[in-house]
Structure 1
Amino acid sequence: MDNLLLLVHRIPYPPNKGDKIRSYHLLKHLAQHYRVHLATFVDDEDDWQHVPRLEAMAASCHFAPLNTKMARVRSLGALLGNRSLSLDYYRDAGLRQWVGDTVRREGITRIVVFSSAMAQYAEPYPDARRVIDFVDVDSDKWRQYAEKKSWPMSMLYAHEARQLLAYERRVALACDAALFVSAPEAELFRALAPESAARIGHFSNGVDTAYFSPEGAYPDPYAAGVQALVFTGAMDYWPNIDAVTWFAEEVLPAVRARHPQAVFYIVGARPASEVQQLAGLPGVVVTGTVPDVRPYVAHAALCVAPLRIARGIQNKVLEAMAMARTVVVSPQALEGIEAKAGRELLLAADAPAFIAAVNQALAAPDDAMGLAARATVEQLYGWNSHLSRVCTLLEADRPVRKEA
């Protein structure tokens, strides 16, 4: 097997955890075709337990510890230098040295980059074939943050949107292929970076349908009689914080007025202080970290994804669909997912629409919708069929082109 370098911003394990799902399956797929040398950061002490599993999958690994508080402070220096905060946040001399040593020792000629911030470690090697999986247009996410926040955070986020977009454009032009999580995400970046249009493509997320199966024997985490409305996700992530806060304050009271047994469960690790405060509201439960989200999804009356800021494909929606649950989604949460509103899920664009959709679904549960959702995921969201595109691009002949 040929050698390949894989650069990932967060340790790609466990395989069914939020933003690690895509990177894990990417690693797993690449390891079937190459001797993979993995460089990644560990930003959660809990994640060190997963190191042996990843070492078994890869030919060699480098795990760089990342102190998130120190990284935030360090990244502020980017403001003075007109650089992207994200690049400074993930800047590490030890990781850079390991990458250089590995490229030389192993004769690396193929590099896969996962997320824009890791591209800085592939820049010194223009002779290698380089494919970047941006996943989302992160710069546009920062732009949305700037629009939602007040000064001075709006200024900070606007700075990051500008600087990161400039870097994304530079990276896309230098790499042999730039991939995103969905066709709409790729189309957005083509509009922002027309000079790289020919290199831009996408591959969708998939779902492990054997793991996220409605047939499992999951213990019921809810009290008898509760109609659980469930949101899953990392709860220190601002779009998720915004979504659950909005739902708890603007939607849930009206739902509980008609369905007093309805309880909103916010299921996810590292709940921010704003999320923890929501537990003081009637009918809101904040679980924090749970060993397995599947019982919460399997026994939910309804899953909700009321995201108002989103980029790419929402794994939480696909996983709930795979478990044959009815899901109520915002237009932002539906973006990039091939599902028909009214058949495989419910779509609601504002608070009155969410209230109406949730009330209707609680009053008249529709098992057929969950079954249709499961069938769609089985048909369209298998990992291997999507990931084969990455290997195709890695093996394609490099076109003759001007230097970026």
Structure 2
Amino acid sequence: MRILIIDRQPPLDLRQGNALIGRHIFPLLARRHDLTLVCPVQPGDEEWASAQLREWFTDVHLVPRPKHVAALKGYIEASVGDYLPTPLQPSGARWATTFSHTLQAVTATTAFDVVHTRELPMAAFLRRLRAVPTVLEFIDSAALREQRRRDIATPTSWPRAPIARSIERRAMRACDIATAVSPADAAALRTLAPETDVRIVRNGVDTDYFRPANVQEEPERILFAGAMSYPPNVAAVDFFYRAVWPQVRRRFPLARFVVCGRDPAPEIRALAGDPSVVVTGAVDDMRTWYSRAAVVVCPMTTGSGIKNKVLEALAMERAVVASPLAVEALDVRDNVEVRIADSPTAFAEHCCALMVDREERLRLGRAGRAYVEREHSWEGCAAAYDA
């Protein structure tokens, strides 16, 4: 088949969740199909990105854009051009008009069998494509994410939830099939547009890359991994540090809490003032940091979707303690592949118990890796799109 991919960014950066998915599934789909990509790119990166992308894509069309395409704002910007003349459009809307013209030129010269659009803001361009079956890959539901954020956020952010529902409903009605990575996200999407076919396609993890390493484990080291400018990750670390960490420190005064990930927000950087906390910022190789940790925690209190950090830790045979929300997208079992904690006290108890029980850490680690090998291959993810 000839498949047109409309992406939010070049599928190259393995540190970004959506790019990571594309980077793994598109080379697999390219073995059986002709793929054409249209997406934004940072100005100056066109030649570099195009050279890499042409390994999997028959045709590549990159439209320079200085800023990342935001989720809700990006959809609105792409819609403004329908109502305002170009001189009155804000810069994001003018870029969207240029992007739309590129899409129209591509579809005018090639007959595609399917259009695969990735993420909510790019769904605004679907209405300009006629009579072509469309798949919209949401990854997660913005409406669900914003509703959960509303439950803990300030009133100034509350309008985001109804705006997300409205935009997501419009996007759902513009596609034939929608995909999400978790049952919770899929259920939220079905509620918005019951007439649209919604399917669950879960992320994979590269178990050849993320595998147990010959690195010395530190029994009193606890790790949180993730992009540390992402609000749900910031909220998770704040919860753990304030509600759980004092309980752990009372039993293990020399324990260290390592917060590992790029672009730490100011409140995360401030935690480095505590001698028991290490804030790394960006690191070259996450595998070393996973390997050195006795316990990997994922105490998510908000957000949606699937947590790649959990899949990676399981693939590395790490003992994982997670909140129910952190593993809602996975078919893992409490005390079999992970420990699930629904309160600060439960988190502290699980972490402390695992720090002194190496055999239990090893048992959980082996079971966790067996789970991801069985349920989260990238080949299985690509096959789901082929179906």
Q: Where on the TM-score scale, by shorter chain, does this alignment land: which range?
A: 0.7 to 0.9
1:192-230 deviation per Cα after TM superposition (whole angstroms, max 9, x unaligned): 33233xx1111111111111111x445x6x8xx672211
Contact 2:317 2:366 in 1 (8 A): yes
Give the secondary-structure state (helix, strand or coil) at the position aligned to 1:285: strand
Name whichever of 50-59 and 259-268 sits farther off.
50-59
Q: State the partner residue of 1:138.
A: 142
Q: State the partner residue of 1:187.
A: 187
Q: Distance in 1 between matches of 2:173 and 2:313?
A: 37
1:46-87 deviation per Cα after TM superposition (whole angstroms, max 9, x unaligned): 998555322322122233444349979x87987xx8x9xxxx
Kindly state the Cα deviation for residue 233 of structure 1 after the two structures are TM-superposed: 1.0
Aligned pairs for 1:29-48 within 5 A: 29-42=28-41
**1:119 matches 2:117:** no
Q: State the partner residue of 2:99.
A: 95
Q: Distance in 1 between matches of 2:206 and 2:94?
A: 30
> Which of 192, 199, 202 is residue 200 of structure 2 equivalent to?
202
Q: State the partner residue of 1:317.
A: 310
Aligned pairs for 1:247-286 within 5 A: 247-286=240-279
Distance 1:344 1:55, change over 3 A: same
Q: State the partner residue of 2:89.
A: none
Kindly state the Cα deviation for residue 146 of structure 1 after the two structures are TM-superposed: 2.3
Q: Distance in 2 between matches of 1:117 and 1:76?
A: 4
Q: Distance in 1 between matches of 2:11 and 2:50?
A: 10
Distance 1:161 1:41, change over 3 A: farther
Q: Distance in 1 between matches of 2:310 and 2:150?
A: 26
Q: State the partner residue of 1:170.
A: 170
Distance 1:248 1:51, change over 3 A: farther
CA RMSD of aligned residues (A): 2.8
Kindly state the Cα deviation for residue 89 of structure 1 after the two structures are TM-superposed: 8.2
Contact 1:184 1:336 in 2 (8 A): yes
- In the superposition, the TM-score normalised over structure 2's length comes to 0.88
For 1:308, give the aligned amino acid: T
Q: Distance in 1 between matches of 2:342 and 2:43?
A: 35
Aligned pairs for 1:4-403 within 5 A: 4-15=3-14, 17-42=16-41, 50-68=49-67, 92-152=96-156, 154-155=157-158, 158=159, 160-196=160-196, 199-214=197-212, 216-217=213-214, 227-365=220-358, 366=360, 367-392=362-387
**Consecutive unaligned residues in structure 1, runs of 5 or more:** 393-404
1:310-348 deviation per Cα after TM superposition (whole angstroms, max 9, x unaligned): 212111111101111000000100101011110111010
1:261-299 deviation per Cα after TM superposition (whole angstroms, max 9, x unaligned): 321111111111121112112311111111111110122
Q: Distance in 2 between matches of 1:211 and 1:363?
A: 28
Give the secondary-structure state (helix, strand or coil) at the position aligned to 1:290: coil
1:81-101 deviation per Cα after TM superposition (whole angstroms, max 9, x unaligned): 8x9xxxx68962332222111
For 1:163, give the aligned amino acid: I
Give the secondary-structure state (helix, strand or coil) at the position aligned to 2:32: coil
Kindly state the Cα deviation for residue 362 of structure 1 after the two structures are TM-superposed: 0.7
Q: Distance in 2 between matches of 1:232 and 1:307?
A: 12
Equivalent pairs, count: 373
Distance 1:19 1:301, change over 3 A: farther
Kindly state the Cα deviation for residue 176 of structure 1 after the two structures are TM-superposed: 1.5
**Consecutive unaligned residues in structure 2, runs of 5 or more:** 83-91
Q: Distance in 1 between matches of 2:226 and 2:41?
A: 19
Kindly state the Cα deviation for residue 191 of structure 1 after the two structures are TM-superposed: 2.6
Q: State the partner residue of 2:85.
A: none
1:27-46 deviation per Cα after TM superposition (whole angstroms, max 9, x unaligned): 22332222211122346989
Distance 1:71 1:310, change over 3 A: closer
Q: Distance in 2 between matches of 1:250 and 1:239?
A: 16
1:3-46 deviation per Cα after TM superposition (whole angstroms, max 9, x unaligned): 22111213211346544222222322332222211122346989
Contact 1:102 1:108 in 2 (8 A): no
